[in-house]
Amino acid sequence: MKRRKAEECFFKLMMAGSMVIVLGSLALILATILWRGLPALNLAMLTQTPKGGYYLGKEGGILNAIVGSLYLAGGATLLSLVASLPIALYLQIYATRSQMGELARLALDVLWGIPSIVYGAFGFTLMVWLGMRASLLGGIIALALLELPIMARGMDEAIAVVPSALKEASLALGATRLETAGKVIIRQTAPGLLTAILLAFGRGIGDAASVLFTAGYTDRLPDSLFSPAASLPLAIFFQLGTPFPAVQERAYASALVLTVIVLTLSLLARKLAGRLNTHIVR
Amino acid sequence: MATPWYRQRAETWQFPLGLNRRLQDRLGKWVMAWLTLLTGLLVPVIALALYLRVQPILASKPLAELLFSTTWHPLKGAFGFYPFIIGTLWVTGLAMFIAVPPSLLTAIYLAEYASERVRGLVKPFIDLLAGIPSVVFGIWGILTVVPFVEHVAMPGLGGWLGFIPLFRSDNPTGYGVLAGSLVLAVMVFPIIIAVAEEVIRAAPQGLREASLALGATRWQTVKHVVLKHSLAGVMAAVVLGFSRAFGETMAVLMVVGNMPKVPHSIFDAAYPLTALIANNYGEMMSIPLYDAALLGAALILLLVVLVFNLASRLVLVRLVRQA
């Protein structure tokens, strides 16, 4: 009897310890980024593009990377939205309980698992075939591939919780399935869909490996789809690669900027889902 | 309150083509089905595209040499992946060794012990951890984990257990397998926890009640009944974590030291496949077969991750259908 209680107690302690490790590492990461990033952060970093010799510790900021990242992730999110929404609607409205629907879900899950460096390599291969150079468009395409499974599966899950009675009511009134999808389902699940979009956007903006060869890098703001574009993760990576402590400090500040953007998106997604959910007919 | 304009627009909105409604429905289905099909074909297309680019090096060198030769010297035409494959396995293996126990215990706690309130409080933080970009993990690795390995783990572990080759340290910096594994372990926590928790929670409630009614303690129930029931799913969760760690690039690249040698101790520097691709892609176009070799590394990554992912997803899909 005593041994059983002791064992229970032991594993409870282990579980508590594990929770401390997991949550503690999140706290440690955030604390490290804040502690090293905050002192190096200033307004000029956020509002200026790099001046000449930036990586030698000269003046300027990372505006090019911030804007570039927003363009890249924004374009990729738009592009993958165009594919994700129809796919999610198809899976939930036309291909319910079909073998093909399950297969498509499996394919999306597998796509989700493909490492982003592989998307980068594939994107680069694609660009070589098309004769494109490293550009905003190339980065957008690679990132869109990365975001597609995240967004499509997120929307799929969001639409899955719509009560089937609602669908049936719409169909019974004589609406076609397409009309049900466009006028009932999309409006009912708007918060869930938006959450999926925000999460995919957040994933896209934080990814470095897929834009490494496809988007290139530049100190200027991108002025067309065919010019190279900087991105925040790569700006961090390059600043860190210089031997100058002052520039490395800026990498920490840039990491703070990226973390704040990503965490804000993630919190926003959660908040939106929570708030708008209350307006849904159940 | 008046109906806002966008509501009005939405309510009177028609699909723009002046088509018959039934035809619109058919057309919509057709377009959506094709988009879904094309997405499904993306995996084979990516694999095929990479394979075609890798073809030249496969044609000119035996596969065994590529996989098992230890010399990597692109300028002399020597492309041995062995150190990189072993480096990947070391870093990923050690990361899983570190990550699995705490993740599973956390998942068990969240699924079996935690109240609804605690679960609701903790899960958002685990989601936050999942959302942190990999470069930020890398920065954290450089600022915190590498110094920890250099000043704490290496003198401690290396000093005590240095007589075992696994813990011998002749690497003066903290950059190496252990640092990479620690960072990777934290990166896979949220994946294993999320999937394992879901699987454990899906075990039928009746099983638990039966076990508790027979006088088993909570932990005995978990150990003998719940975990046994969800073993396949828990394994799938671990495998998913493994394939994530296997393909992770930037964070690992920043802390493993990147030396193309086979590591022999957890403090040695390693050079995983992902880091190899990321570090050399820019300069590969000028050297013959170099691009084929690097895309070969990408193909190896893709195939390994594909197999593991497919296997664990199939297990999970079957479990969900059962539940």
Contact present, A113 and B244 (Cβ < 8 Å):
yes
For residue A257, which of A95, A89, A55, A45 has the smallest C-alpha distance?
A45
Contact A113 B39 (CB under 8 A): no
Q: Which of A141-150, B98-107, B196-205, B281-290 has the lowest mean pLDDT?
A: B281-290
Contact present, B274 and A115 (Cβ < 8 Å):
yes
pLDDT surpasses 60 at B260: yes
* Confidence at A282, pLDDT banded by 50, 70, 90: very low
Please indicate if any CB of chain A lies within 8 Å of the CB of B76. no
Of B33, B39, B50, the CB nearest to A108: B39
| Chain A residues touching B137 at Cβ < 8 A | 29
* Confidence at B5, pLDDT banded by 50, 70, 90: low
Between residues A52 and B118, the one the model is more confident about: B118
Please indicate if any CB of chain B lies within 8 Å of the CB of A237. yes
pLDDT surpasses 90 at A162: no
pLDDT surpasses 60 at A231: yes
* Integer CA distances (angstroms), A21 to A29, A215, B106, B296, in order: 12, 37, 9, 37
Q: Which residue type occupies A95? A: A
* Torsion angle, alpha carbons of B175, B178, B180, B181, to 10: 180
Helix and strand numbers (H, E) in chain B are 16, 2
Please indicate if any CB of chain A lies within 8 Å of the CB of B95. no
pLDDT exceeding 70 applies to what percent of chain B? 93
Model pLDDT for residues A182-194, shown as the tens digit of each residue: 888 888 888 889 9
pLDDT surpasses 80 at B107: yes
pLDDT of residue B318: 82
pLDDT surpasses 50 at A196: yes
Non-local (6+) Cβ contacts of B53 within 8 A are A125, B291, B292, B295
pLDDT of residue B2: 64
Q: Kindly state the average pLDDT of the residues A187-204.
A: 90
Contact present, A236 and A258 (Cβ < 8 Å):
yes
* Confidence at A52, pLDDT banded by 50, 70, 90: low
The number of residues in chain B equals: 323
SS3 B62: coil
Contact B128 A26 (CB under 8 A): yes
SS3 B73: strand
| Chain A residues touching B105 at Cβ < 8 A | 11, 14-15, 17-18
| Chain A residues touching B132 at Cβ < 8 A | 26, 29, 206, 259, 262-263
Of B124, B140, B243, the CB nearest to A29: B140
Of A7, A95, A106, the CB nearest to B313: A106
pLDDT exceeding 90 applies to what percent of chain B? 56
pLDDT of residue A178: 85
Instruction: List the structure tokens of B121.
Output: 């409080």
Q: How far is B50 from chain A (nearest CA, A)?
A: 7
SS3 A32: helix
Q: Tell which B residues from 243 to 272 touch A, by Cβ distance under 8 Å.
A: 243-244, 246-250, 254
pLDDT surpasses 80 at B216: yes
ipTM of this predicted structure: 0.91
* Torsion angle, alpha carbons of A161, A167, A168, A170, to 10: 160
Cα dihedral across residues A72, A64, A115, B61: positive or negative: positive
pLDDT surpasses 70 at B10: no
pLDDT of residue A54: 65
Contact present, B187 and B141 (Cβ < 8 Å):
no
pLDDT of residue B98: 96
| Chain A residues touching B22 at Cβ < 8 A | 176
Return the residue of B nearest to A265 by Cα: B131
Q: Kindly state the average pLDDT of the residues B216-233.
A: 90
Please indicate if any CB of chain A lies within 8 Å of the CB of B50. yes
Of A19, A117, A236, the CB nearest to B298: A117
SS3 A92: helix
Cβ-based neighbour number of residue B123 at 10 Å: 16
Please indicate if any CB of chain A lies within 8 Å of the CB of B182. no
Cβ-based neighbour number of residue A148 at 10 Å: 25
**A136/A150 Cα distance (integer angstroms):** 21
Q: How distant is the alpha carbon of residue A93 from its chain centre?
A: 26
Q: Tell which A residues from 240 to 259 touch B, by Cβ distance under 8 Å.
A: 240, 251-252, 255, 258-259
Model pLDDT for residues A77-99, shown as the tens digit of each residue: 999 999 999 999 999 888 877 88
Q: Which residue type occupies A102? A: E
Model pLDDT for residues A15-36, shown as the tens digit of each residue: 999 999 999 999 999 999 999 9
* Range picked from B4-18, B144-158, B186-200 for highest mean pLDDT: B186-200
pTM: 0.90
Report chain A's terminal Cα–Cα distance, integer Å.
49
Contact present, A209 and B250 (Cβ < 8 Å):
yes
pLDDT of residue A56: 64
Annotate A85-116 with b (16+ C-beta within 10 A) or e (fewer). bbbbbbbbbbbeeeeebeebbbbbbbbbbbbb
Contact present, A237 and A252 (Cβ < 8 Å):
no
